[in-house]
Structure formats: structure tokens, C-alpha cells
Amino acid sequence: MTATTVATGPLHREPAAATADDRLVYDLDGIGAQCDALLRELPDVRVRFALKACPVDDVLGYLAGRGIGADAASPQEIAQALSAGVPIERIHYGNTVKSDGNIAHAHRLGIRDYATDSVEDVRAVAAHAPGARVFCRLATSGAGALWGLSEKFGCSPEDAVQVLCTARELGLAPAGLSVHVGSQQMTADAWQDAFADLAGTLTAARRHGLVLDHVNLGGGLPAFGYADRHGTPLDPPLDKIFAVLRDGMRQLRDLHGDHLAFVVEPGRHLVADHGTVHAEVVRLTRRRGPDGVDRHWLYLSVGRFNGLYETDALQYPLVFPTHPGAEQVLARVAGPTCDSDDAFPGLVRVPKDLRSGDPVQVRSSGAYATSYMTRGFNGFAPLPHACVGGRP
């Protein structure tokens, strides 16, 4: 059995049977335990899983069975969520970047809640999804996050009021506000700043006769298992983050009424620490670089282009199950392709006696690994996936 708590981080379930091929294994029981922990911390929120973090039908269906909805970013994701059993009323179109065709397709599928951040987008929603509900995304700085998401999305509080007023004029329902403080957000301050902007915008909206019914606090809740680019384990202050979220929600309700509902869009937080890539060693080498320094290089059968794309910003923990307690060396870790970007940042301690074909587990790889795979760069195929657990 797998037991996971937000305080101590993940444990890992092994696959039901060893396999000869590389693959990504998701632990549904671990994902469920993480979901339960989130709901204990934030019991009065609607959870919409950020589908992009793990577009795996078994995971979506498992979460749907626990009452979790979906944050979808395209008609294709909407259709996948519906096929996996997510009720239409628990799906929203959370992408502010939508073509006219995307909006019309989503409307035909039954979507009635749309994110927006511009007057132009609102006009398109009014034309192709008449009568829909819209929530306006406020811009954030992204400070403190591994991926800031700070420029492409969101608008100022002043522009948000204009966007929502325009929505009302065009026959849409101005329903709410949203924020996203960046992926793998490592500070509680980011949410405090977001709540300040939300409070001011709600007040300004009320002055224009807009009474909004919900606030979407977006994603950004961190995972535990990573190290930073230099190999230092990340230690997100999750208890403080949850305290700030609870306090911020309470203050907004005190100011604007108990009718105000809250939504969160966790992705990475639910799945990252409950996916493990099972792969193998290609070769451990030692060679002198152009700077004249001898270095060990560890090449793995998986890398940036078939599952581990996020090595641009972090290190995944590596486990070598057949080499417990072995003498270690510092090595640069890289994938199997002929691309120099296919490498971990920094150095990692690995067993000195590794041989080609030795197994390796890449832990905390459950978020975005499936999403970011190429169709087979250099002929290295995307990883297949499997799920364990999740049954009564």
C-alpha cells in the first residue's frame, strides 16, 4: 500500500510486475491519497484537475470517480475529460487563448464556463458561445515559481473590470476572477499578492454593478520530490501556503459575501510524486571535456524528448535498485538522443559500478512527462504508461 501526506512527501509503489521495456507507472492510490490530503487542507473548494499535467484516461477517470472536475485548455481536452467520465458541469475551458473555432467547438460539447483576459476574446465568446459564463484572469508576476507563466496570460485589475463589463454588455454572464501564480510555486507570498489583487478587483467590479460568484485560485501548488538545478532538494512551505489560501478565502468572503465560491486547479501537485519512469542505464563513461576537466557522464534510455522535458529547470531523483549502498561518483546525467539539450542540469551522485542495462527509476516524474513527449525524436519512442492501484 502507498501512503502519502503533504507533510512528509511521497512513498512509491512498484509496478505489479517487472517489465523489460521503459515505461511510466502511475500509482492511483498515491494520487488518491494526495487528493484526499488537499481536500482536508481546503475542504470548501471545487477541484478542477489541470488535465495538461497528466492526460491519461485512467487517471482522469479515477479522479472523476472522486468528484474531481477538469480544467481543460482545448476542445480535445474537453472531449477527453468527458470520455473519461467527468460531468460536463465540472469542466471549464481554462485557456485564455482560444480561436473562434475552438470556442464554437467547446460550446457544441456543452461547455458554459470560459476563462478570458481581453475584450477581443470576450467578443469572440459572445459570438460563438452566446450566454456563456466568463471568468477573467488577472496577471501575476510568477515570482517564486519554477515556471512563472507571467507574460502570456492575464490582465491588470483595471482591464479586468472593463473585460467583465464588456461581457455583460454582450449578453454573457460575468461570473468570476482567476489567477495563476506560476507552476511549482515555492513561496506563500505569491498567493498573498494574488489575494490583494483579487480583493481590489472584486471591490472595483462591485462599484460597476458586477457581483461575481466565484474566484479561481488556479494551479501552482508544488510537488515534493524534485531537486533544483544544482541538486538541492526543493522544500516547498506547503503548510504556510495552505494557511495563506484559507485566510485569503476567508477575508474575501468577509468582504464580498458567503456566496463566493472558490476553485483550485491542481495538476503537478496531485500527480508528480506518484509517477515513476522505469528505464535503464545506457552507459556510464568518463571523458575529458573542452575545458580540460574529466567528468563522468551517465546516459539513460529516457531523457528530455521522451518524458523528462522538465530537466530544463529541475532534477528528478534517481534510484538504482540493484546497487544499494554502492560507492558513488558525481556525474552529468543525459538522455539517449543526439541533442546536447537532452541532459540534466548540474551533477548527480550515481553508483560507480553502473553497467549498460542496469535498471533505474526516475521518481517524481508523474507530471507533464506524458504531455511533453515527442512522437519519437531520433527514433526513441514515447514512453508507454501503466497504472497500479486504484481498485477497492
Same domain assignment for residues 323 and 268 = no
Same domain assignment for residues 206 and 290 = no
Question: Which of 272, 300, 327 is where one domain is finished?
Answer: 272
Domain count along the chain? 2
Instruction: Report how far residue 4's alpha carbon sits from residue 182's, in angstroms, rounded to the nearest whole number.
Output: 24
What residues make up the domain containing 346? 273-388
Nearest CA-CA partner of 169 in 138, 208, 199, 197: 208
Calculated CA dihedral for residues 110, 115, 116, 122, nearest 10 degrees? 20
Same domain assignment for residues 94 and 183 = yes
- State the pTM of this model: 0.92
Question: In the chain, at which residue ranges do the beta strands (DSSP E only) sit?
Answer: 23-27, 46-50, 69-72, 91-93, 113-116, 133-137, 145-147, 173-178, 183-185, 214-216, 261-264, 275-288, 294-300, 318-319, 328-334, 348-351, 359-362, 385-388
CATH number of the CATH domain containing 157: 3.20.20.10
pLDDT tens across 131-154, in order? Answer: 999 999 999 999 999 999 888 999
pLDDT tens across 230-278, in order? Answer: 889 999 999 999 999 999 999 999 999 999 999 999 999 999 999 999 9
Q: Is 352 helix (H, G, I), strand (E, B) or coil?
A: coil
Same domain assignment for residues 260 and 323 = no
Any domain includes 7 = no
Q: In the prediction, which pLDDT does 391 show?
A: 67
The mean-pLDDT minimum among 2-11, 68-77, 365-374 falls in 2-11
